[in-house]
Structure 1
Amino acid sequence: MANPANSTKSIDQREYEVVCRLLRALRTRAKLSQKELGERLNRPQTYVSDVELAGRRLDALQLRAFAQACGSSFTEFARRLDEALEVMPPPLAKKVAKKVAKKAPKKTPPRGE
C-alpha cells in the first residue's frame, strides 16, 4: 500500500493546471462570467474562481456539471483534456535526468578480460 505522505494529490500536480485552464477556456468560450456560471451551477462566483485557480478539486460529476453549464459535454471536455495532456512536455525532473544521463561517461569493459 502506498504511503500517503509520499503521494501527491492531483490538485497539486502540473497536470491539474491543465484541467483548470481548460475549464476557464470552456467558460470564456461560452461567454459566461464567473458569476453567471456560478448561478447556473447554483454556486457562488467564488466557487468558480476557486475551481479555475486550482483552489478546489472537482470530481467527475462536478466536471460534468461544469461542462454542461457551459454548453459543452463531459465527453468533449475529457477529449480536450486528453489531447492537452498528450502534448504536455515531461516534468523538469525527467528532463534534467535525461541530460545528466547523456553527459555521464560511458563505462567500457576492461580490455583483455
Structure 2
Amino acid sequence: MRRPKPKRASASHGFAAIEMGPAGKIAVGAGLGGLMLAVAIASAMRAPPRPAALPEARPSLAGSVDATPPRCRTVTQSESECASAWEARRRHFFGEEAVQ
C-alpha cells in the first residue's frame, strides 16, 4: 500500500497544489511552444520598418570652407591656395573665427 504524500505548508490555505502527470506537462510544453511559434511567424510576416528620411544638407555658414578645390585633396606638395583652404576648414572644424 502506498503512503499518502505529506501536505506542504502553503501561504494560501484555500488552494490545493496541482500535480500534473507526464501527459499534462507535455500538453503545457506543446502549448507554450505553439504560442512561441505563432509569435515568431507573426513577427516574420510583418513588413520591415522603413528607414528614416535622410536629413537635408545644411548650407555652410562659411562659403570658403566648401570651396576647397578637388585637386587639393590629393596634392602632395605645399601650395598656398590649398594651404589656405585647409586652414579655413581647420578653423571651421574647431569653431574658431576666421581671420579676415
TM-score range, shorter chain: under 0.3
Larger RCO (CA within 8 A; separation ≥ 6):
1
TM-score, length basis structure 1: 0.22
TM-score, length basis structure 2: 0.24
